[in-house]
Structure 1
Amino acid sequence: MQWLPGCSCPLCPECFRLHFTVGVRERGVGALGCPSCGRPDLRDEAQRLWYWSTLEPQLRRCLDPDTFSLVTRKLTELELLRDPQFLWCPHCSFGFIFEAERGPAQCPQCHQQCCPRCQLPWDPRHSSLSCADFGSWLRSKETPGPSQGLGVFLGEMGIECPQCGQCFALARGGCLHFQCSQCQHQFCAGCGAQFHQPGSCPSPQCHLRGSLHGHHPRDCLFYLRDWAPDRLQQLLTAANVTFETEPPPEALPNPTGQCPVQEQKELGATLRDENCGRETAPGQAGLCRGHYTEYLVSLINRHGLDPAPLYGPAELRAAAQRHLAAGRSRRRPGESEAEHLLRLRRMLGEEAPVRPRPPRAICK
Structure 2
Amino acid sequence: MRNWMIAKNGIECPSCRFRFDLWKGGCLHFKCTQCHYNFCGGCKQPFYQGSECAFSDDCGGKGLHAHHTRDCFYYLRDWDVERLQQLLQHNGIEYKSDISEELSGPFEGLFKVQSTTFKMHVVEKTERKEEENTFNEMEDKEFLVRIINANLLDPADLYTDKEMEAELQRWNVTIPEISVEERREAFLQNLQMKIKQEIPLFVNPD
Give TM class, smaller chain. Answer: 0.7 to 0.9
Match of 2:140? 292
Match of 2:198? 351
Q: Which has the higher helix share?
A: 2
SS class of match (2:168): helix
- What is the total number of aligned residue pairs between the two structures? 180
**1:214-237 per-position Cα deviation (integer Å, ceiling 9, x unaligned):** 111111111111111111111101
Tell me: CA distance 1:201–1:336, structure 2 relative to 1, closer, same or farther (3 Å): farther
Tell me: CA distance 1:155–1:182, structure 2 relative to 1, closer, same or farther (3 Å): closer
1:329 pairs with 2:183: no
Match of 1:210? 61
Q: Which whole-Å CA distance do the structure 2 matches of 1:255 and 1:233 have between them?
A: 19
**1:297-332 per-position Cα deviation (integer Å, ceiling 9, x unaligned):** 111101011111211111010011223xx4532426
Match of 1:82? none
- For the aligned residue pairs, the C-alpha RMSD in angstroms reads 3.2
Q: Which whole-Å CA distance do the structure 2 matches of 1:332 and 1:172 have between them?
A: 39
- Structure 2, gaps ≥5 residues long: 104-122
Kept in 2: contact 1:218–1:307 (CA 8 A):
yes
Which of 274, 278, 281 pairs up with 2:132? 278
Tell me: CA distance 1:322–1:168, structure 2 relative to 1, closer, same or farther (3 Å): same
1:213 offset after TM fit, Å?
Answer: 1.7
1:155 offset after TM fit, Å?
Answer: 3.0
Could you state the TM-score of these two structures normalised by the residue count of structure 1?
0.43
Q: Which whole-Å CA distance do the structure 1 matches of 2:152 and 2:85 have between them?
A: 14
Tell me: CA distance 1:308–1:171, structure 2 relative to 1, closer, same or farther (3 Å): closer
SS class of match (2:15): coil
**1:266-296 per-position Cα deviation (integer Å, ceiling 9, x unaligned):** xxxxxxxxxx96127xxxxxx7222111111
Q: Which whole-Å CA distance do the structure 2 matches of 1:193 and 1:335 have between them?
A: 40
- Structure 1, gaps ≥5 residues long: 1-149, 260-275, 281-286, 356-364
Tell me: CA distance 1:313–1:213, structure 2 relative to 1, closer, same or farther (3 Å): same
Q: Which whole-Å CA distance do the structure 2 matches of 1:151 and 1:335 have between them?
A: 55
Match of 2:106? none
Match of 1:194? 46
Match of 2:154? 306
Q: Which whole-Å CA distance do the structure 1 matches of 2:3 and 2:22 have between them?
A: 16
Kept in 1: contact 2:7–2:21 (CA 8 A):
no
| Bigger relative CO (Cα 8 Å, ≥ 6 apart) | 2
